[in-house]
Amino acid sequence: MGGGENVPKRLNGTPQTDGTGNLVVLRWSRHPRCVGLARVELRKAMTAWGLADIADSAVLVLSELLTNTVRRAHVAPGRAIETWYQRRDKGLRIEVHDADDGSPRLSPDASAPVGGHGFALVSALADRWDVSDRIGHGESSVWAELDIPTQSHPRGGA
């Protein structure tokens, strides 16, 4: 365990945006501590967007998506994991992109080890989620969307 390989990095320095202030893109090294750093950045963006009502759920969803990617992705040298946080009319979209050819899938086995329930948690917290393969680029992304709760459809419960 030497040198800088065990140090988490936000690879692109400052977050990239789309110019509208509705999209934040960050690049990360494949290191477990990047998950906590990414959560901090998501909370910053959500505070700026006025999305406090769904922040706790969104941070948990991001944690599960990014942790899974850090654990399973085989990111080649010079490539990184990207997180995308996008403010939408209905709420928030979170995407985690990697350079792994494999696609994550939700395990239907309820008796799977605790570490295997991340996507079940994402499914319970997010209004929508799925996996997208970028054919020809050797990349995949997993995304989740959380809607702002309304009076008729509150998030969570008592």
- Give the long-range contacts of residues 76-83, CB within 8 A, separation 24 or more: 80/11, 80/27, 80/28, 80/29, 80/30, 81/27, 81/28, 81/29, 81/30, 81/34, 82/25, 82/26, 82/27, 82/28, 83/25, 83/26, 83/28, 83/38, 83/41, 83/42
Domain total of the chain: 1
Q: Tokens in use for 104? A: 């994550």
Angle between helices 34-49 and 55-72 (to 10 degrees): 150
Domain CATH number, residue 112: 3.30.565.10
39 in a domain, yes or no?
yes
For the chain, the average pLDDT equals 76
82 in a domain, yes or no?
yes
Residues spanned by the domain of 24: 15-147
Indicate the burial class of 143 (C-beta count within 10 angstroms; 0-12, 13-18, 19 or more).
Answer: buried
Return the DSSP state at 77: T
Highest mean pLDDT among 8-22, 25-39, 98-112, 114-128: 25-39
Quote the radius of gyration of the chain (alpha carbons, Å). 16
154 in a domain, yes or no?
no
3 in a domain, yes or no?
no
Beta-bridged to residue 23, according to DSSP, are 86
1 in a domain, yes or no?
no
Q: Tokens in use for 148? A: 């702002």
Which pLDDT tens digit goes with each residue over 75-132? 666 668 889 999 999 999 999 988 665 555 444 444 344 455 678 889 999 999 998 8
Distance in angstroms (rounded) separating the CA atoms of residues 46 and 55: 7
